[in-house]
Amino acid sequence: MRKPPNLACHNLWPEHSVPLTQPSRLLVEEFLHILNDARDEKPLQKFLNGNPVILRTLLPSSRSFWSFDRLRFGSQYVPDFLLCCQFSTGFNWTLVELESPLKMALNSKGRMTSTLTEALGQINDWRIWLRRNIAYAHEELGLKGINAESPCIIIIGRQTRLNSKHINQYRELSRDKLTVMTYDRLVDSAKSIAR
C-alpha cells in the first residue's frame, strides 16, 4: 500500500493524481464487461484502481482529483477508495466502500441486508477513527482536509435486481452524507460523460 508523500511537495500526491480527462466509451464498456462477470467486488476494485477516471464521475468537476486505493486508517480500517478533489475552498474527500454486485442493499421485505449493515458499520468505524485520530490523518497520512464528516458512498448490487416495491426505502438509504448506489449508477454516470 502506498503512503501519500509529505505535503511540503508542490504537486500533492502525484502518484495518486487522476488526469482531468473523461473516460472513453471503450473503457466504460470494459468496466461493464468486468462487472457483468464479477462474482464479488475484487475484480471491480482492481479495475477501478487502474482506471480511477471512472470514479472521478462520482464527484463534482474540479481542477484537481486524487484517488487512493485501500489506504489504511490505523491497523484495521481500510476504505476501498479515498477520493479527493480540490476547489477554491480547499480539499473535499469522499470515502468509498465497494460491495459485491451480486449482493443487494435491501431484502425481499424492504429491510437492509446484512451486507449493507456491515458496510454501514465499516463507515461508522472509519468516522470514529477519524474523529479520534484527525491530527494523525492530516500530518502522518498526509490527508489534508479530511474529516469524520466527509461524504461516504457504498456501491452495492445491480439496478435490475432492485424491487420497485421498495424504491422509497432504497431512496431513504442515502442521507446524512451517505450515498448508497448500484454499480449501474456508476456505469451510467461514466457513460454520460464518456468521449
What tens digit of pLDDT does each residue of 63-80 get? 899 999 999 998 899 999
- In a domain, residue 13? The reply is no
Count structural domains, the chain. 1
- In a domain, residue 132? The reply is yes
| pLDDT (mean) for 77-89 | 94
C-alpha span between 148 and 128 (Å, rounded): 7
pTM: 0.92
pLDDT tens for each residue of 97-119:
999 999 999 999 999 999 999 99
* Residues 6 or more apart whose Cβ sits within 8 Å of residue 48: 31, 54, 55, 81, 98
* Full domain range(s) for residue 88: 21-193
* C-beta separation of 105 from 180 below 8 A: yes
Q: What is the CATH number of the domain that holds 117?
A: 3.40.91
Query: Residue for cell digits 477554491?
Result: 88
